[in-house]
Structure 1
């Protein structure tokens, strides 16, 4: 007799529970272009800005060196030290800019290219400007007193010649100048470097020559101390633009043998420094040429 509480299991019936399949969303296709694109590296502008400020700083330091010395805020020797600092900053900006550019390119960064190149330009220009003075210093003798007459230089009367004018004339230990006194060494160095600077003859009387010399001095912005047509003398002071250095000038005019013309001599002396970098010679050449009427620009 069959038990109703326990019905027989039918043959072929499923014994496992039926689980409904849950459909998962299909993954989105990966773009090959997006996968292949490189990740852009973050640009860095700090190094480029540093180069810019180095270049600009070199210019500002150089300006401070000249203006501070010219205004009397410090001695010109300290101003020269500031120029050396400015030169170092300019070189650092120039060379550092190349290094920063190379490193940024290697790392795939952008090192503020416009600012970096501007800083390199400023620093390089200043460095080259200062190097030009260093080159000039090596090509001219370390003297600061230039005269058209070495045997009988024109003498100052209103203006005073610096007390140490001949104290640091070089060549004392050189064989060709051994035994020479400072005056003789100065004349030897002067003749070798500035042999073209000599007395000139002009076809005008002494008084007329002094009057023209005074006009030329005032056009140049010199401070005229005396212009005496009777004695044939002009003394004046030229002040340089940057460091405000003062150079004293004397022009001596004497009549020729027949009295129809004049013999002109000129002397230019720096008040400070050892070497004038050829500035006094340049001044004498230009002024004499204008006075004699041989300078096309005069």
Structure 2
């Protein structure tokens, strides 16, 4: 009897020790999982903005910066997958999920992926063009600034049956009209010189660099700098006299210096500028 009592604790102790070790390993694995998710999520965001900002500062080319961005999305996606799988495994094994780092990492991943997805969806819904104007038949021309040499290269649609036989400029006009039918000339009930002067003030308020302005001839050119990449987009505004000088017809053109797809940035700029210019001039009357 005494012999059996002496042997019982000896068999229970190793079992208890094994259970404690297994519990510690499980907690360690959960902590590692949470830290991995958190680090991947934060790193994806930091690298994304670091690559963009570094390109803007000229530390590396914009092409190199753009090539890094898809990898940040992949890192965030991996972090989210690890978090989801980890939560499922915890529930199946009846373990309580250790949330602080895992939850924050998953939250950051979802937010960042949503941010990237908005750009992907915008790019998929718009044509890969970067030259936007209110007058497709007779776009305003630059004189002080120069349109990029490859402006008409890489216009999509060459293999599209609907545009077969069209030259690049014709394809550009077709894609432009389909995507941005609302980008049109505006009429303002003020003389050309006054409209251009107000356009100049509006460009300065936006922080654009005014390169050339001639109120008498109704011409203004400026350069806008956008995003952390500090991309340069060149703008030309043309005002033509109407109704014997009492009114003006305003056309605008915005062209990206680099890249193929502007993700709608130039059209957005033209819309907002002409809307503000029309509102400014109307309010001043």
TM-score using structure 2 length: 0.87
Q: Distance in 1 between matches of 2:277 and 2:80?
A: 45
Residue 40 (structure 2) pairs with residue 63 (structure 1): no
Change in 2 beyond 3 A, CA 1:226/1:295:
closer
- Segments of 5+ residues of structure 2 without an aligned counterpart are 1-5, 7-18
In terms of fraction of residues, the more helix-rich structure is 2
* Contact kept? 2:188, 2:281, Cα under 8 Å: no
Alpha-carbon distance, 1:103 to partner: 2.1
Cα offset, 1:101, TM superposition? 2.0
Partners of 2:281 and 2:172 lie apart in 1 by 28
> What is the aligned counterpart of 1:172 among 148, 158, 176?
158
Identify the residue that residue 279 of structure 1 maps to in structure 2: 265
Q: Which one has a bigger Cα radius of gyration?
A: 1
The root-mean-square deviation of aligned C-alpha atoms, in Å, is 2.0
Q: Which residue in 2 is equivalent to 1:149?
A: 135
CA distance in 2, matches of 1:268, 1:71: 23
TM-score (norm 1): 0.83
> For 1:128-179, what per-residue CA distance to the aligned partner results, in whole angstroms no more than 9, with x for missing partners?
1111111111111110000001111000111110000001111111111111
Gaps of 5+ in 1: 1-26, 28-38
Q: Partner of 1:191 in structure 2?
A: 177
Stretch moving more, 65-74 or 104-113 = 104-113
Mapped contact 1:146–1:269 kept (Cα < 8 A): yes
- Please say which of residues 82-91 and 96-105 is displaced more in the overlay: 96-105
For 2:53 and 2:82, the matched residues in 1 are separated by 28
**C-alpha displacement at 1:279, in angstroms?**
0.6
Q: Indicate the residue corresponding to 2:232 in structure 1.
A: 246
Give the deviation of 1:102 after TM superposition.
2.1
Q: Distance in 1 between matches of 2:97 and 2:223?
A: 50
**Once the two structures are superposed, what CA deviation does each residue of 1:264-288 show, in whole Å capped at 9, x if it has no partner?**
0000000111110111000000001
